[in-house]
Structure 1
Amino acid sequence: MDNNQIGQSFWDKGNINIANNDEEHEEKMSRRIQKLNLHLNPQLPFCPNEETIHFLDCASRIRTIDVETKVLSEYMRGKHWDIQERVYEYFNSRPDLQTPLEISKDDHRELCMKQLVGVVREGGIRPFRYVVEDPAKYFAVVEAVGSVDMSLGIKMGVQYSLWGGSVLNLGTKKHRDKFFDGIDNVDYPGCFAMTELHHGSNVQGIQTIATFDPITDEFIINTPNDGAIKWWIGNAAVHGKFATVFAKLILPTHDTKGISDMGVHAFIVPIRDMKSHKTLPGVEIQDCGHKVGLNGVDNGALRFRSVRIPRDNLLNRFGDVSRDGKYTSSLPTINKRFAATLGELVGGRVGLAYSSVGVLKIAATIAIRYSLLRQQFGPPKQPEISILDYQSHQHKLMPMLASNYAFHFAALHLVEKYSEMKKSHDEELIGDVHTLSAGLKSYITSYTAKSLSICREACGGHGYAAVNRFGSLRNDHDIFQTFEGDNTVLLQQVAGYLLKQYQEKFKGGTLAVTWNYLRESMNTYLSQPNPVTTRWEGEDHLRNQNFQLDAFRYRTSRLLQSVAVRLRKHSKNLGSFGAWNRCLNHLLTLAESHIESVILAKFIDAVRSCPDPNSRAALKLVCDLYAMDRIWNDIGTYRNVDYVAPNKAKAIHKLTEYLCFQVKNIARELVDAFDLPDYVTRAPIGMQATEEAYSNYTQFVGF
């Protein structure tokens, strides 16, 4: 078939025969071209009078929803916006503490320490007290300082959530009494030394050893080989004076091996002299060097050579050693003690999920404001149009904006659950928060990492200028996908907990709150899809939140049931580990599907709870786009199980495009509702007063 034949076949399928020049087909072509022009610029190519032009021009600017940015912003803020404003105002009043575009690694580290000390001692922000009194306020502070400089957000997290949090959560009263004030006012800067060169996610496999010496009543900390060197330890290279060191607790015994391994425990190990700041004997510290991002954080490597610490430096909440070397614990096994230890450290994951939402807000704000400002091309002999008027650009940015809103409410829910857990210490809630934090941290940080590149590309060459921040945001945020648990590993934890809940259902057990929908899903969602509803394609049906939730939960339930069957089948031949590895991609998809279901459910709750009708209508529109976009992205799954008929799939695609267009019409108001001052976004192309963007940008380069 030659090119002419190929072209002929293509147009025949579209019911347009180019070769046929009769009047009917010419009229069809004319109408299609006219519609395309109207989509790009809602003006007729040939208008009979000025009145018609004025009418169409006004019609193109009519908004279906009248959003009051201030009202929507007040609903979005949450109860701790005031503390964030205090952080923003402090740094705005201290230009000497603002991070310049070009700065060396060593200077950035010193500046980051000055920023931390300044906001705590001069600004009156006391994050460590918030960790104890109101975790939600602490996470709000971390998000705010991360907006100023992400390195500062991470350094604060190391000081208060990791080093300070380990003392609070793994220690007892004697440790809090001794260290609280020094950690709070940064007199005791510290580290969290868990990760080793050979072991990161597999914490139970770490090799550092803490051996009890009953003669001197001390623990001896040793690094037995190079693989056990503590690696990527924040605050270690320059500023840290203490480290919470995770090591295997070894007790002398009279068994055949002569030793007894009690499992991983945490120990407070001084690493530098309090006055001279010199490295203490037996401690070796090396600098991990320049990184892809976050160079304001001084990551280092620690090796211990027979470092002796007092017995009281064991963080003994879940296990203790007496003066005569006897081990006691309220938890009977190594695995239970390990689980309890890690369960108390989920605050870091909560903080990363929450902060990642904040990073995406900044990037989306800059990209969308610029896309509304920048004009390019358009119909012949007519004004250029903004690049956000192009469908392709809407497809890039509007689902991202919808996701940003969805993540915002999901992160607030996670913080509320975490705060409730810290007060109640309810075992069921602990397991629920552990899994929810793992899933949201993994899902949100992965999505944000991809979105940062999309935002940069959406701004063309100007997105490549360092002053417009996409490069630093992308580089600094990238590691969020790895620390506090690699995202792939965390998703496996979510899948494992889902399978545990699945088994509990058939044993007659109860389900934790987050998993309640699984109680019905095995019976309702796994039955044969209704042949009528699989074909419903009306907008009212597709935008019905019951349909959206059912679709998300149906997919999760199908994935859960099928992977349970597969694991059972493969375990007979491959064993449990081999079966898990064989089904790993399936398990990861299951975990992501469940997390998407939770995010949608929380977004729907937020829409229903919004008191202002206009704001509620805007949120409903954004929520619909989030739901339709996710369903369309996985339409193959729904088609394969006949949950969605071909005509309905087509309708979902069309509705997704239409919702992108609708959200575009209120995109400016939606990003303004994030309420980020220009001195926080700090990108010339992302100024709130867009007419000043180019003048600010040109002034930056010297015009």
Structure 2
Amino acid sequence: MAHIFMATNSRNSTNRTARDDEGNQQKHIITVPWRRIERLSLHLNPSPNHHNLSQIEMLICAGRVKKIDVKVAELSSFMRGKHRDIQERVFEYFKSRPELQTPLEISKDEHRELCMRQLVGLVREANIRPFKYVVEDPAKYFAIAEAVGSVDMSLGIKMGVQYSLWGGSVLNLGSKKHRDKYFEGIDSMDYPGCFAMTELHHGSNVQGLQTVATFDPLTDEFIIDTPNDRAIKWWIGNAAVHGKFASVFAKLMLPTHDTKGVSDMGVHAFIVPIRDLRSHEPLPGVEIHDCGHKVGLNGVDNGALKFRSVRIPRDNLLNRFGDVSRDGNYTSSLPSISKRFGATLGELVGGRVGLAYSSNGVLKIAATIAIRYSLLRQQFGPPKQPEISILDYQSHQHKLMPMLASTYAFHFATLHLVDKYCEMKKSHDEELVGDVHALSAGLKAYVTSYTAKSLSICRESCGGHGYAAVNRFGSLRNDHDIFQTFEGDNTVLLQQVAIDLLKQYKQKFRGGSLAVTWSYLKESMNTYLSQPNPVTSRWEGEDHLRDPNFQLDAFRYRTSRLLQSVASRLQKHSKALGGFGAWNRCLNHLLTLAESHVESVILEIFIEAVRSCSDEGSKVALKLVCDLYALDRIWNDIGTYRNVDYVAPNKAKAIHKLTEYLSFQVRNVAKELVDAFDLPDYVIRAPIGLQAADEAYSQYTQQVGF
């Protein structure tokens, strides 16, 4: 401390002398603006003594713990997962076929045709058949989807439409006769198809769809109709150019003998041919239009479908949850429209799982480019000394290091979600189905929103070179942005998480069982809702703050408080405003609750992943980024903890300091951490993000034609 005091006095003395000398030379005409310019210059060109002070501070920080030795191969092996081999097959195929790699500048129509050639080549030439894994091994399917999306996000989405949505609806909502008839054609790409759920006027509210499918008992057919322009099927991937079939979601209408004439049996899915298999022309009664140029993903041919009395065989009803007999009788194993609707959407949850998983893949690419460039780019520094890396600046660490920690946290959370989904598909356990539904909704919303924000931060952190299209941030940002809307708008999905939490909260007080994801509320909610301990609220030691028990308790305490308070508010407002009005009045509170819960679940999964790592060096590195993820989240919401005295002022200050220090530590191993993602340069495809930094500028100038 004495050294710091002396350095500070020396710096102040030097600055005063400089000001006095300058004042004598300028005959005391220094103005206030001049002083400001002088102070700014000191920030940009610090004096040698000021630099020595920074060195001392950094040495003190670095001296606290032993430097982490991260072995990239061991950490990468722990991260890669058991399906990395299939991803490498995808990467190698596109590396061997440069003509199939998406160029930087390409028109919408050319991109669509290239995307189709890419998918057909992957299936028929590389013999990578994703469709069979949709049923046999979903984890392998999601691994392929992540790799394909890394090659071109449009290709990843087109593959998802073909196999997860169109193909998945046939497998999950249909019966054996549908699988026998369509599986091979879907698998081989002979039957390219669409998933026609969203309408011009209805998206998230699927029960409000207006397209109708009326049964005609005279011909044993369903008649598909678009009753008005609001019911036009809109944003339908594969529809504008390539699709030959569509899974059309419509209200099933059965004729009755009463005055109503028809009975609405709720939304069902139907296989509707939309183009002739040979001529590829639209079939009679089917109008197909192009949705046009989009902000991103222009390799996907989104179109609009309108039906005018299109007749399909009765067998084209995907009848797993409801069937119609030849004489027009409706049968179902589920007792109500709402139950059937819930079961139908529950079978389509794989789309959310895939988006959460793939979104983190996008974040890995962006974080790798931004961090590698931030290590390469040097800017300013002490006089007469080499410039320093921009990642050595605390402000830059604050931007990127918590993001890197979050990328690791999301990696383990989305892998956990995939495992849960695979387990659900095998067991069909009802409790697990509900758990996966809520967890996939929460993670899809949280991860895609975080990634969308982070892509802009990554671009900004690379300055002007981040704005060059060749360095990918623009295309990544534009292509990924719609992930926040796909498979359910994020705000709607977070509300589903909040609804589940409130149901479980009510169930807790009735003594019932809770789903796996929410079990911590049952185990210790009373503890979390009790008054904070005035002793522990002041503990500020590093060991305490980095204790996973403290971190989890803090996350869970916040969630429990939010849950209790919003339940109380809803009850209070419902008396005057009714249920819907009360919900709307508390909506922001409910969204905060859902996000808080998702963060708690992510942290719990991350902590368990750290514990399960057998390589000691990797374990230490993972513990570091896990601590940064946890403490950064606590600091970002420190007002909540301070307002209820969960954290005393001295502890809040200690959390802030430790978060900055952990960011500094993560910076020291940032290169190794992004290298452990094991993304080859030909997948990253951004010259400023090359693993070999000395080639970055030459590759960059070459790719822009210099």
TM-score band by shorter chain is over 0.9
Q: Does 1:355 align with 2:358?
A: yes
1:290-332 CA deviation, whole Å, 9 max, x = no partner?
0000000000000000000000000000000000000000001
Any stretches of 5+ residues in structure 1 without a counterpart?
1-13, 24-28, 45-55
> Counterpart in 1 of 2:252?
249
CA contact (8 A) 1:542 1:548 kept: yes
CA contact (8 A) 1:40 1:389 kept: no
Separation of aligned partners in 2, 1:230 and 1:141: 29
Amino acid aligned to 1:73 = S
**CA separation of 1:255 and 1:33: change in aligned 2, threshold 3 A:** farther
Structure 2 counterpart SS, 1:447: helix
Q: Does 1:339 align with 2:353?
A: no
CA contact (8 A) 1:218 1:310 kept: yes
One of 525, 538, 543 as aligned partner of 2:541: 538
> Counterpart in 2 of 1:51?
none
Structure 1 counterpart SS, 2:533: coil
**CA separation of 1:21 and 1:426: change in aligned 2, threshold 3 A:** closer
Q: Does 1:37 align with 2:40?
A: no
Cα offset, 1:22, TM superposition: 12
CA contact (8 A) 1:196 1:231 kept: yes
Q: Does 1:216 align with 2:231?
A: no
Q: Does 1:661 align with 2:675?
A: no
Separation of aligned partners in 2, 1:446 and 1:328: 41
> Counterpart in 2 of 1:8?
none
Equivalent residue runs for 1:679-698 within 5 Å: 679-698=682-701
CA contact (8 A) 2:10 2:49 kept: no
Cα offset, 1:37, TM superposition: 1.4
1:206-242 CA deviation, whole Å, 9 max, x = no partner?
0000000000000000000000000000000000000
Cα offset, 1:343, TM superposition: 0.3
> Counterpart in 2 of 1:229?
232
Cα offset, 1:42, TM superposition: 6.8
Structure 1 counterpart SS, 2:271: strand
Q: What is the aligned-residue RMSD (CA, Å)?
A: 2.3
Cα offset, 1:255, TM superposition: 2.4
Equivalent residue runs for 1:124-523 within 5 Å: 124-523=127-526
**CA separation of 1:564 and 1:15: change in aligned 2, threshold 3 A:** farther
Stretches (4+) displaced over 6 A: 14-23, 32-35
1:599-639 CA deviation, whole Å, 9 max, x = no partner?
00000000000000000000000000000000000000001
CA contact (8 A) 2:90 2:147 kept: yes
Structure 1 counterpart SS, 2:251: strand
Separation of aligned partners in 2, 1:363 and 1:696: 18
> Counterpart in 2 of 1:595?
598
CA contact (8 A) 2:86 2:144 kept: yes
Separation of aligned partners in 2, 1:20 and 1:572: 69
Identity %: 83
Cα offset, 1:681, TM superposition: 0.1
**CA separation of 1:625 and 1:670: change in aligned 2, threshold 3 A:** same
CA contact (8 A) 1:40 1:385 kept: no
1:427-448 CA deviation, whole Å, 9 max, x = no partner?
1110110010000000000000
Separation of aligned partners in 1, 2:15 and 2:349: 70
**CA separation of 1:210 and 1:552: change in aligned 2, threshold 3 A:** same
Cα offset, 1:39, TM superposition: 6.7
CA contact (8 A) 2:11 2:50 kept: no
Separation of aligned partners in 2, 1:401 and 1:17: 36
Cα offset, 1:16, TM superposition: 13
CA contact (8 A) 1:197 1:228 kept: yes
Amino acid aligned to 1:682 = R
Q: Does 1:648 align with 2:662?
A: no
Cα offset, 1:33, TM superposition: 7.5
Cα offset, 1:34, TM superposition: 7.1
Cα offset, 1:96, TM superposition: 0.6
1:613-669 CA deviation, whole Å, 9 max, x = no partner?
000000000000000000000000001111000110000000000000000000000
Cα offset, 1:513, TM superposition: 1.1
> Counterpart in 1 of 2:24?
none
Separation of aligned partners in 2, 1:259 and 1:701: 63
Separation of aligned partners in 1, 2:634 and 2:523: 21
Separation of aligned partners in 2, 1:404 and 1:702: 33
Amino acid aligned to 1:172 = S
Structure 2 counterpart SS, 1:423: helix
**CA separation of 1:189 and 1:39: change in aligned 2, threshold 3 A:** farther
Separation of aligned partners in 1, 2:655 and 2:698: 42
CA contact (8 A) 1:63 1:665 kept: no
Separation of aligned partners in 1, 2:477 and 2:576: 44
CA contact (8 A) 1:521 1:554 kept: no
What TM-score, normalized by structure 1, do the two folds share? 0.93
